[in-house]
Every structure is written in C-alpha cells, then in structure tokens.
Amino acid sequence: MSTLVRRRKTKPGERLLTAADLAMLPDDLPSGPVLYELNNGRLVIMPPPGDFHGGVEANLTTTMKNHVDRHHLGKVRCGEVGIVLWRNPDRVVGADVAFIATSSLPIRVSPEGYLETIPDLVVEVRSKNDSLPEVLDKVKDYLLAGVRVVLVADPLKKTVTAYRRGRKPKVFTVADTLTIEDVIPGFQLPVAEVFHV
C-alpha cells in the first residue's frame, strides 16, 4: 500500500473517522440505501448510482472480467468496491471497477474487508451528481496512491478518459476503441458499446 498522505488541517474538536468507523455505518437508512467514502477522515455521503450508471459499469466490468479471466491477467472487482488508498487520515473510496494485475497478487484486504492492494487500473463512471472538480480530485488521489491508470466514463459526453500520472489525459470517443495495452494486454472495447445500455 502506498505511504503517500495528503493531510488537511482539522478544525478544533473535529473527529476524523477511520476505515473501521466506516465499516460500521449502515448501508440502509429509513429513506433508502446510502453509500459512503472517507476523504482523509471526513465522511462523504453519496446517493446510490442510477440505472444508466449501472448499465455502463456492467458493460465495462463484463468485458474486462471476461478478457482478464480468459488470459489469466489478474482479478477484476466491481460494484463500489471499497479501497483504502492511505491511512492517518484514512482515504477510503468506492471504485466502480478495479483491476489488480497478477504481479500485484495476492490481494490484501483490510480488517474491515476493504481492498488494501492498490489496483493497477480503476474505472469511475461519472454520475449525474458528480461535479468535474470532484471527479478530478478523486482521479488525483487514485494516481497519488499508485493506481497506474484511471478511466473515467462520462455517460453525458459518451467519452472514456484515461488518466496517468505525469501524462496528458487521453480521451476516447464513441468512434474509438478503448485499449490499455500496457496494463491489460489485448483488452479492446469499442466505446460505443460502453454506453449501449
């Protein structure tokens, strides 16, 4: 796990939460289901993703998992899988899809059940409630923690953007085929199929 930590000043009397605290929170409230993340110890409450988001996530997960399993390239996780990016203060995120290469196995899991192995690739599907600055902050945190490639699928723009540390983002449009040859060799997915839900 990466030892990079970005600290923000705490307010007097402010209590930062830990991954253990996060694991104890209910995922169902009287008003309905709820998802959480920790942003350096601060609780972030997120609405559950919508149907279109789920369809895009399913398309990416299915194609990626089939390819990875067929070629024994590693493990794929999906469905807001919790990942501990760092601790003290804790940064726990829920990725839509995560790929862990064979070279990063075996997978390490925290006592709370979250991934402690930093994935080689993470996919985030932008939800209608996600502002671009929020998405880019999360991308930055993934890259700081050691994720090699972060893919952001934007259903509104119908694009998939690949972010890598120290390089310009690469935008794939519906006219392109998504490839990540250096991380998942041989993986190809027409972007139009990503958004065909």
pTM equals: 0.89
The pair of three-digit structure tokens given for residue 144, joined into one six-digit string: 């700081």
Instruction: Please give the domain boundaries of the chain with CATH numbers for all domains.
Output: 19-194 (3.90.1570.10)
Q: Determine the average pLDDT of the residues in 142-165.
A: 97
119 neighbors 99 (Cβ within 8 angstroms): yes
pLDDT of residue 105: 95
Res. 2: pLDDT tops 60: no
Q: How far is CA 154 from the centre of its chain?
A: 14
Res. 8: pLDDT tops 70: no
| Sign of the C-alpha dihedral computed for residues 114, 87, 104 and 65 taken in this order | positive
DSSP letters, 36-100, are: EEEETTEEEEEPPP-HHHHHHHHHHHHHHHHHHHHHT-EEEEEEEEEEEEETTTTEEEEEEEEEE
The pair of three-digit structure tokens given for residue 32, joined into one six-digit string: 């309905």
Q: Determine the average pLDDT of the residues in 103-128.
A: 95
What does the pLDDT look like over 61-109, one tens digit per residue?
999 999 999 999 999 999 889 999 999 999 999 999 999 999 999 999 9
Output the CA torsion 95→96→101→102 (10° steps).
Answer: 100
Which H/E stretch holds residue 24? helix 19-24
Res. 113: pLDDT tops 60: yes
How far is residue 194's CA from residue 185's CA, in Å, rounded to a whole number?
19
